[in-house]
Structure 1
Amino acid sequence: MQGPSALTAAHVAGEGIPTVAALLTAALAADGISNIQGFYHLQRGYSALLPKLAALDAELTQH
């Protein structure tokens, strides 16, 4: 096999805005559905990001 491995969905947790933003970026590129704990951090630092991603057809839900 050559090249990088494909990203796959995972259950992950982030503590802080930059970490959760990086996890979200990876989750959007991964195959499957990822669950990110600490997602509320994005609402504090990047509240405008979520509607913009939804406008690009990213499927984001909060539980």
Structure 2
Amino acid sequence: MARNVTLLGLVSAVAKYARSDKEVIATVAYMVNSGRVRLCGNFKGTRFDLDALADDIAA
């Protein structure tokens, strides 16, 4: 069952253990898009467009 979290809560939790900002972005996107977590609050129901993220990360 997916856990409901805010985007801020998820990013904060992942950032404690990640070695880089890129790792935070990749982990958060994976967890949300795979359904392992469900965003609540302002970003409720949000999914991440991985093609757009790849362009931003590559830059």
TM-score by length of 1: 0.32
Structure of higher RCO (CA pairs closer than 8 Å, 6+ residues apart): 2
Which one has a bigger Cα radius of gyration? Answer: 1
